[in-house]
């Protein structure tokens, strides 16, 4: 199979699926190994970028997806119903950050870090498709483990968790001190 035909097949599959497609499935579609298929998909993405097409192909860990370019969003919503937007409050961002950096993580671990109940925040993040259940911890009670989703990667413009900014050690220390101060203030308020 020639390169042009393989890229055309990838384009057709990505367009038809409308969601991310795993590299294994794409490799089956073009009859190539996964490494060759990744190179073909990246080359196709480069073609779309070079030609400034209205669509683009993004890589999400071990998957690829065709989507609309962000710069054409305003044009798109003129003819389509406006895509659902969600508001990420400070509480939701804090909870999402904990999940992104500590995953897989239980609700109890999130609450221990935040110092408050996190049911509502975790449920909202699940509703928004940014967080999902990724398993259960093998301890009594089998608590649910949470992790981020591909939608999280898309929303924050990263192709893998490895692209998330690393925290500097002094930031971690600042966060610990702030958490301790908040916990002490909480205890003091409860005593009063």
Which is higher by pLDDT, 113 or 184?
113
pTM over 0.75: no
- The one-character DSSP state at 133 is E
- How much is the CA Rg of the chain, to the nearest whole Å? 21
Question: Cβ distance 111 to 118 under 8 Å?
Answer: yes
Query: What is the reported pLDDT for 183?
Result: 64
For residue 104, cis peptide bond before it (omega within 30 degrees of 0): yes
Helix then strand then coil, in percent of the chain rounded to 5, is: 60, 15, 30
Least confident of 38-52, 82-96, 103-117, 121-135: 82-96
pLDDT reading at 82 higher than 60: no
What was the pLDDT predicted at 27? 94
Q: Is the pLDDT of residue 168 over 60?
A: yes
Task: Please report the sign of the dihedral spanned by the C-alpha atoms of residue 74, residue 124, residue 167, residue 157.
Answer: negative
Q: Right CATH number for 3-79 from 1.50.10.150, 1.10.390.10, 1.10.357.10, 1.10.10.10?
A: 1.10.10.10
When the candidates are 3.30.2350.10, 3.30.750.24, 1.10.10.10, 3.40.50.1100, the CATH number that belongs to 90-191 is 1.10.10.10
For the segment 123-162, what is each residue's pLDDT rounded down to a tens digit?
999 999 999 999 998 888 899 999 999 989 888 888 888 8
| Residue 189 pLDDT exceeds 80 | no
């Amino acid at each position: 199979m020639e390169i042009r035909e393989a890229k055309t097949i990838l384009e057709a599959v990505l367009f038809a699926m409308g969601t991310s497609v795993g590299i294994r499935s794409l490799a089956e579609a073009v009859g190539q190994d996964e490494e060759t298929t990744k190179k073909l998909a990246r080359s196709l993405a480069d073609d779309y970028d070079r030609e400034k097409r209205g669509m683009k192909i993004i890589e999400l860990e071990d998957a690829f997806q065709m989507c609309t370019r962000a710069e054409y969003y305003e044009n798109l919503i003129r003819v389509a119903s406006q895509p659902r937007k969600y508001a990420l409050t400070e509480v939701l961002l804090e909870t999402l950050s904990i999940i992104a950096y500590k995953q897989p993580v239980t609700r109890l671990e999130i609450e221990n870090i935040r110092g408050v109940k996190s049911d509502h925040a975790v449920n909202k993040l699940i509703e928004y498709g940014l967080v999902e259940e990724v398993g259960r911890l093998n301890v009594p009670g089998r608590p649910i483990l949470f992790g981020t989703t591909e939608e999280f990667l898309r929303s924050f413009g990263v192709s893998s968790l490895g692209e998330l900014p690393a925290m500097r050690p002094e930031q971690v220390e600042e966060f610990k001190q702030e958490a301790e101060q908040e916990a002490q203030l909480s205890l003091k308020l409860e005593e009063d």
